[in-house]
Amino acid sequence: MKTISREEYIGSLDTNTLWISECPFCTLKHKHTENIIWEWKYWFIRVCLSPYTWNKQHLLAIPNTHRILPSELSNEELLDMRNVHQFVEKYFWDQTYFSCLRDTMGNRSVEHLHHHFIAWKLQWKYLRSMLMNQGFPITEKL
């Protein structure tokens, strides 16, 4: 599996990623099945090709149907999220991991809902830097 920087990944995206037919997650599911490590009825989990921490244990949970916001998920998709979390708990087993679901419309590299799971104890300084690099206006001093 090749790991690329976030800048390379974002630079490689088509400018039309907001359209469902051009969504990289919708097309990746069919093209790069070797990176999919778990699949269920409404979700699949894959290894992130552009991890925040350069840690190979950065997973993405992605709904099979193109969704942008969590409010668009059906009741069945929401219930199936429990299976996602159960798999992730077993996958990371005794490791500390951080998870986040970015449900804002701005500053996302992909407009397809996805949940990050990262094996690592995320420290505030790193989280602050990561969010600022993605355009979030953080002005509070540490």
**What mean pLDDT is predicted for residues 84-95?**
92
Task: Assign 51 to helix, strand or coil.
Answer: coil
Q: Looking at the domain assignment, is residue 138 inside a domain? A: no
What is the span of the domain harbouring residue 71? Answer: 6-133
Q: Looking at the domain assignment, is residue 13 inside a domain? A: yes
Beta bridge partners of 59: 47, 117
Helix ranges, 13-48 (H): 24-31
Q: Looking at the domain assignment, is residue 1 inside a domain? A: no
Given a cut of 90, is residue 63 above it in pLDDT?
yes
Window from 3-17, 97-111, 125-139 with minimum mean pLDDT: 3-17
Give dist(CA 123, CA 85) in Å, integer: 22
Question: Tokens 């804002």 appear where?
Answer: 104
pTM of the model: 0.71
Q: Looking at the domain assignment, is residue 142 inside a domain? A: no
Q: Looking at the domain assignment, is residue 139 inside a domain? A: no
The number of domains in the chain is: 1
Beta carbons within 8 Å of 142's beta carbon, 6+ residues apart: 124, 125, 128
Give dist(CA 119, CA 122) in Å, integer: 9
CATH number of the domain bearing residue 62: 3.30.428.10
Q: Looking at the domain assignment, is residue 117 inside a domain? A: yes
Q: Looking at the domain assignment, is residue 141 inside a domain? A: no
Given a cut of 50, is residue 26 above it in pLDDT?
yes
* Tokens of residue 69, six digits: 């916001």
Q: What does the radius of gyration of the chain's CA atoms come to, in whole angstroms? A: 15
Task: Output the pLDDT for position 15.
Answer: 45
